[in-house]
Structure 1
């Protein structure tokens, strides 16, 4: 077995891991075993993450001695994913967000795993709303929903204290978020509040901000068609909020080209007081960006207006359509073992938690269950002794999230429309005279053209 740990150790001096694919011995795998290339972590993950993965890899290969698992660095990014998929550079097993799954399966770019999921016996345990994200019109299944999240407000407890704010009483309204951001910027010189704006994340977070104010950027007509509704009062209010923080309060710092990776990096470095992202980002913050757990806080997203809710999402584990039948069978074995059994089986849950804890990785990060609530609560009980995330510092989220009804992401041309919205968020943050109404009106027209296939 050639593990990611070997690669990390050999490249420690330059603190980077270019690719873990080199750990294989060839297309036939090690000693004639079937080689299975699987997605691991984004570039920059620390050695401890790979140590945990190596331990899990050993466990899997002990149970499946004919399979040689090869870890490959992987991070989904909207602008580059399509090219990676078309070019065949993705691993055999990788993950994609819910927003891409429908388009990919409709284009024949995902492997049908209906028979395999049914044979595994837990198809009926999935949250049906989440399972629908990977089903076609006939109910066929094209992936394994592995994790889900609701949007939350992440905040730096140290910066709160430096600004004279109580980190145990985080903001509950957008007005309070604004006040806290202003206080942090004034007291520390850091960005009190930051916003993702690039690589489709600006559109993603604008959709989330609109939903939190009762707005939806798209209407599902129920017949396979969609109507763009970007220019709604919720979206306008979200952009006006950013405009106030940026130009009136000057509380957003100076970097307005942040995406998921860079905003996490800046937050982990203590340069951002608050930002919004999925509730599950704590794992990446600690594992990939070396955030200090003691400085981390999480609470629910403030909601305002009728029909407001936190945008929900997640990702699915999928199999490349180019694999052979033998590789497909191995891929299903890996996905079931690595992603699913820790949610379904006590021994697997404890084994996974033990491996993570042994390598100082997060156990117990807040998520939305992809399986039914009973199964989820049972899995939490199994790993209760191993949970090492600062639950007290996340109490605002745990106490409130089940009272908030998640809002699904828009389904039609999702990533393309998110990309359309990136420049709007950037414009509001870089041009004090940006005309929000005009920008949204044009975005609606452009989005509808995408939805109509023009």
Structure 2
């Protein structure tokens, strides 16, 4: 077993109680006339989370309200999805405190849709603690801060150890090249009839994972000009290699599987059900797979992405705890208290980290899912020693990732019109997976033109 300082693991917080979800309303937060407390609506799990997750949150909610008796926490089911998020935000149906991916923050900042928390972040002393690259994700053109980065991850290759064994593959020796991924996928399909490899293709996730594959092969889909503008570089050799790889898995090998319209939620369902041998996604996925999709922990494996090319790296990502600028001052103050206590303190304070890990562990929730530090690596490594007694994820099954991720340099996601370009690239991925004779060169040429038009708007 590796020492905590060498293992890339961190506890992941969970949210909401069943009663809160049943009783919450769509109205905004604020003073509750009946109790005198400030009602704070906070984002919780996507639909499908297990009962134990709610039990864990109930304990955390109790701890918070004991420290803040003037605040009443109300959980609201929440799952960020690119195509529907803007409608929810415009319609005022989001909770007071919610999370968004790094990639969506810049668009929200441009549209003045996030609450300025500069003074609060400085008062709490966080501005000097964050990794500057990650802090940039919540920094507006005015130099102010509009959210709290709460977690980061690197994209990785998740795989099913049981399907590996059934195919005669060693689950402790996952593939290290894309050619090996293809070979392993073929063996899995031949031996089990399951999809040896699958990939997301809809709801902006097709473009996201196409970009992941591009970065892992040394390419980039966008060049940031540093002045708020960008140049589309989708039509490159690395992106072409990814699409050819998907084409060959689907049409030559038959190892991709029949489902070509999967997104983040549905591919996780398929993987948890044992229908997918390998897929690429964020290194933080273990928590959701077990909590929301019923994955058997014994079958889970994760490894770093195969890298090919001088500038190759795993595409990074993460999310930010934010608030709407339309909430009142009282709700904002309560929201900052919640974000600080629930998301941030366990990254900085030993007592908070232990209390969080203990509450999760006692409810059989994941403690130790692989993440990347949003603060310094030194502080991150130290925090792992705090929660070591409570880490309950199968670390021995994660060593292909945790032993090797520090040798890879994460690549940041594109900053301009990121989600819009991902949506555009969905169509390219779907075409390759549904048309055996798809012209990849023509698809990329058109996608580059269309993407540049988006960037020039």
Q: Encode CA deviations 1:241-294: one digit per residue, 9 max, x unaligned.
A: 001110110001100000000000110010000000000000000011010100
- Correspondence 1:23-422 to 2 at 5 A: 28-29=31-32, 31-422=35-426
Task: Give the deviation of 1:7 after TM superposition.
Answer: 3.2
For 1:21, the equivalent position in structure 2 comes to 24
Q: Select between 395-404 and 133-142 the one with higher mean Cα deviation.
A: 133-142
Asked if 1 retains the 8 angstrom alpha-carbon contact of 2:30 and 2:40, the reply is no
Q: Tell me, which stretches of 5 or more residues in structure 1 are unaligned?
A: 9-16
d(CA) in 1 for partners of 2:330, 2:29: 17
Q: Tell me, which stretches of 5 or more residues in structure 2 are unaligned?
A: 1-14
Task: Give the deviation of 1:5 after TM superposition.
Answer: 3.6
For 1:7, the equivalent position in structure 2 comes to 19
Change (3 A) 1:24 1:235: closer
Task: Give the deviation of 1:399 after TM superposition.
Answer: 1.0
Task: Give the deviation of 1:20 after TM superposition.
Answer: 5.4
Q: Select between 303-312 and 19-28 the one with higher mean Cα deviation.
A: 19-28
Task: Give the deviation of 1:24 after TM superposition.
Answer: 10
Q: Aligned pair count?
A: 442
d(CA) in 2 for partners of 1:70, 1:155: 36
d(CA) in 2 for partners of 1:40, 1:211: 31
Task: Give the deviation of 1:23 after TM superposition.
Answer: 11
Superposition TM-score, scaled by structure 2 size: 0.95
Task: Give the deviation of 1:28 after TM superposition.
Answer: 3.9
CA RMSD in angstroms, aligned pairs only: 1.6
Superposition TM-score, scaled by structure 1 size: 0.95
Asked if 1 retains the 8 angstrom alpha-carbon contact of 2:43 and 2:97, the reply is yes
d(CA) in 1 for partners of 2:101, 2:110: 15
* 2:442 is aligned with 1:438: yes
Secondary structure at the residue paired with 2:410? coil
Misfit runs of 4+, over 2 Å:
3-8, 22-30
d(CA) in 1 for partners of 2:351, 2:384: 13
User: Which structure exhibits the higher relative contact order, with contacts defined as CA atoms closer than 8 Å and separated by 6 or more residues?
Assistant: 2
